[in-house]
Every structure is written in structure tokens, then in C-alpha cells.
Amino acid sequence: MQQPARQFANLIGGEWVRHGETAADINPSDTRDVIGEYFKATAPDVAQATAAARDAFRAWSRTTTQVRADALHKAAAELLARREELGEQLAREEGKTRAEGIGEVLRAGQVVQFFGGEAIRLSGERLPAVRPGVDIDITREPLGVIGVITPWNFPIAIAAWKIAPALAFGNTVVFKPSELTPASAWSLVDIFHRAGLPSGAVNLVMGDGAVVGAALTEGVDAISFTGSVATGRTIAKRALERMVRLQLEMGGKNPLVVLDDADFDNAVNCAVNGAFFQTGQRCTASSRLIVTHNIHDRFVAAVRERMQALKVDHALKAGTEVGPVVDERQLEKNRRYLEIGRSEGAQLTGGELLARETPGFYQAAALFTETTNSMRINREEIFGPVASVIKVRDYEEALSVANDTDLGLTAGICTTSLKHARHFQANAQAGLVMVNVPTAGLDYHVPFGGRKASSYGPREQGSYAAEFYTVIKTAYISA
Ligand code: NAD
């Protein structure tokens, strides 16, 4: 007998709320497999969640840092202990491989643990006044209610690296996850809910971006958003009308420069990993491979060989290296860009739709060669297992092509030349620079974010997260 579908409820003011329409959470590796049904929140639900978060803020912002650290450490311990189960669930609903799913839950646990410590480490400053008999104290205070809006591609890690610092510094949260990954979001919130927070400190409102996301901008004090540039712009316009503090992390069109003097095998690994792992669905993916002409043909041949050998299959099948595309819409978008690239005159290898034992959104990795940086495939984010090679004369041209983009999240270079590596580090117009390592793959204790249209507002993660999640007060005191 078929099991009844699991239901994922919204969390509002400490109560699991089950009302209204539901939508299905589908496994992209096997579209017959329904992970569950989630309740779609309405605009009044969002208003209620925001009011509950505001109530909870009164208590939570006054708790000791030890209470906050304990709650975060408890949540982190559960995430770490359940990483296999939650990683598998993540792989089932998003399509990344089991290993990638487990790795992401591990990362989420580490992030939450780190911010448990940050709650205690938050410091201020005392400056001598220029006037006699006056002290100046500079302190950081919580902001209030934080609206957290996240994408589907890292449904646990990104939510964790926003919710954990928000709570660590005494804020409360209304969290709106992506429509495509409600189970991961629900599990994370369930863990926080049972970790010793007051009712209403974390609220979950699932549903459509245009309804729930839009309503969220109405009542909160700050919004931390990760997603596409187009959605970021829409949110920014509305939020700025209310003078809401904003942190937007958006798309990438990240270059990986490969110079003639690179360690060849490492460069090929960096390219294949950066372009195709996690099905290319990473904001930090290497979508533009900028290669100097002497190494170009050999490099393209080696990348082609590696990508054609990648095992694309069910995310939970042993041996799978690349899972399916997240849904039909993204698959269609990828296919559209393959057509666009061909019509622009680029040469395509791979990219075919693949049939597997289970019905899913399987696509072979795709590589465009003979491309120029002005082609749409090199200017617009595709967000799938699709990369382009751009042939250049020398390092100078490579740097100029790397920087010729509206986006600026990560930029990588593979070279054994210290001179070029240091010059690239100083001159790449990106928030993150990677030398001889893939453009994707980051540590959890350091700042993360981009430049140009990739990012807006203060950095996420590490001790830098306090810039966004706290507000500074300067006090002059004369005894
Ligand atoms: P998206 O912009 O479509 O959606 C992101 C979130 O915004 C979802 O929760 C969605 O429901 C919500 N949303 C949609 N319309 C909204 C509206 N009008 N108001 C408020 N919220 C709304 O992005 P996606 O497809 O989920 O994710 C892929 C994108 O995310 C890519 O562009 C990728 O580069 C980017 N991304 C960036 C980073 C980073 O840190 N820079 C990390 C991961 C993903």
C-alpha cells in the first residue's frame, strides 16, 4: 500500500500551521517519487509570522549570549548527528548526489556551531573622547526581525548561514525557502524550533515567491536574500521604499583562467569540478573557461574526455557523480541556452537529454568551444551543467575577458606563475579569488560575497556576518 504523503507545515509563532493549499515536493531523479506536500502560506500568514517574530524579539534580544550559544550548539549537534539522513533527503528533493547532500548538511552543522561561538565573541569598542570626562562606548545591538529568503541549490547550508547569525546576535527570523526544497527547509526549522528558542523566534513560511516573498518585505527590519539577480532587484526596490536593511547574494558568470604554465591535471580537475559538479547549479560555478592558446586544444580535449565519462544518474544511486537538473523549468532553460549558443556560432559537445531507469531531468554535461565573450552564453547565467571555453592570447587578455562581465562573484586562475597569480588576485573584479583551486568550494568561517551585480550589502559568514545582523550604537557617557 502506498504511504500517505508527508506533510510539511508552516511554523508561525511556535505553532505548526496546516491550512490552505498544498503543493508537491517532487524528486527530480524520479518524478514518480513525491517527498511530501507542503502548505503554501498566504500574505496574512506572513504578517502573523512577522508579528510573532516581533513579539519573540523582546525576549530573545535580552537573553544572555550563553543562552543563544547553547541553543545554536544544540541545533548544530543535531544537524551533525543526522547528516546522513538529512543529506539523503536533500539529495532526494534537490538532485545533488548523496555525498554532496551529506556534505551540505555537514557544512550547515559547522556553520551553526561556528555562530554559537560568535554569539559569545561579539565585541564592542571603547574610544577615548576628545573632551575631558567623557567616555565613548561603541556597541552592537540586534536589528529586530530578519526576513530570510533562500534559493533551492543549497537549501540547508544557505538557510543555516543566514538564520544562525541572525539568532546568535539576538534577532528573530521569518524564513521563506524556495518552493523546490521545502523538506530541507522544514527539517532545519524543526531542529531550531526544538533547540531552546522562545516561540516565534524562528518562523517558516513556505510558498510562491511572488506571494510569500513579496509579503515578507512588508513588515521586517532587514532582508537577507540569496537567489537570482532579477528577484534581488525586485526585492530591493520594494525594500528600499521602507528603508529595510538589505543583503543580496545573487548570480555568477565566473571565469576560470587557465594559463599555458598551469599544472595541467589540476587545471582540468578545477574546470570539471567547477563547471559540472552539483549539476553546474552553483552560483560559484566556473561557466567561462578562459584558456591561453598554446594549451587550448590539449585542455579542451582533456575536459571533453573527463566530462563525457561523468556518471549522470539518480542522485541516490551508488557511483553517480552528477545528479539530475532540479526541475523541468531549469532543464528547459538549459536546453534553450544550448540552442542560443549554437545559433551564435559556438561548437557544442554534449548537453543531450539522457534516459535513465527512473524518469527524471537528466542532462549530459555540455561544453561550448569557439566562443567569444560577447555571446549571450558567456554573458547570462545559465545555472546548469553548461560551460564555455574562450581562447585568449595571453594573461593580459585573459584578465580583461575575465573582468568583462556584469557579475563578480568568484574568479579563478590556474598557473604556476607567482607573478600572474598575485596580479590576478589584486585585479580580478570578484568578491572571491581562487588560485589553483576550483571557483566553487568555500570555508565556513570566512566572508563570502561578490561584486558588481552579484552582491549588494555587507558580506555573509565568518565574523563579518555581524556587519549585517547587528546595528551599531555610539554612546557618550559623562559620569
Ligand atoms: P530565484 O531568484 O528564482 O528565487 C530565490 C528565492 O526568492 C526563492 O525562495 C523564491 O521563491 C523567492 N522569490 C521569487 N520571487 C520573489 C519575489 N518577487 N519577492 C520575494 N521573493 C521572491 O532563484 P533560484 O532559482 O531559487 O536560485 C538560483 C539563483 O540563486 C541563481 O541565480 C544563483 O546564482 C543564485 N545563488 C546565489 C548564491 C550566492 O551566494 N551568491 C548562492 C546560491 C544561489
For 418-468, what is each residue's pLDDT tens digit? 999 999 999 999 999 999 999 998 999 999 999 999 999 999 999 999 999
- 226 close to ligand 1 (CB < 6 Angstrom): yes
Contact predicate 119/68, CB 8 Å: yes
246: CA distance to ligand 1 center in Å? Answer: 14
**Is there an atom of ligand 1 within 6 Å of 251 CB?**
yes
Q: Does the pLDDT value for residue 110 go beyond 90?
A: yes
Point out the catalytic residue in the list 100, 104, 179, 249. 249
Confidence at residue 479, expressed as pLDDT on a 0 to 100 scale: 83
Annotated catalytic, 381?
Answer: no
Q: Is the pTM of this model over 0.95?
A: yes
Rounded to the nearest angstrom, the distance between the alpha carbon of 273 and the centre of ligand 1 is: 23
Using DSSP, state whether 19 is helix, strand or coil.
Answer: coil
Query: Which grid cell is 423?
Result: 596580479
Nearest C-alpha neighbor of 414 from the set 292, 308, 297: 292
CA of 250 to the centre of ligand 1 (A): 7
Checking if the pLDDT of 3 tops 90, the result is no
Compute the distance between CA of residue 367 and CA of residue 389 in angstroms, rounded to an integer. 7
237-283: pLDDT as tens digits: 999 999 999 999 999 999 999 999 999 999 999 999 999 999 999 99
- Give the per-residue pLDDT at 2: 56
User: Is the minimum distance from the CB of 150 to ligand 1 under 6 angstroms?
Assistant: yes
Cβ pair 167, 72 in contact under 8 A: yes
Q: What is the pLDDT of residues 42-75, one digit of tens each?
A: 999 999 999 999 999 999 999 999 999 999 999 9
Q: How far is the CA of 278 from the centre of ligand 1 (A)?
A: 17
SS3 337: helix
| Catalytic status, residue 249 | yes
CA distances from 279 to 262, 333, 384 (A): 25, 14, 6
Half-sphere exposure of 57 (CA within 13 A, CB side): 19
Q: Is 114 in the pocket of ligand 1 (CB under 6 A)?
A: no
Which residue from 40, 104, 148, 149 has its CB within 8 A of the most atoms of ligand 1, so it is best to mutate?
A: 149
Residue-level pLDDT at 4: 65
Q: Which positions ≥6 away from 443 have C-beta within 8 Å?
A: none
- Averaged pLDDT of the chain: 97
Alpha carbon of 169 to those of 188, 193, 319, 432: distances in Å?
Answer: 19, 17, 42, 26
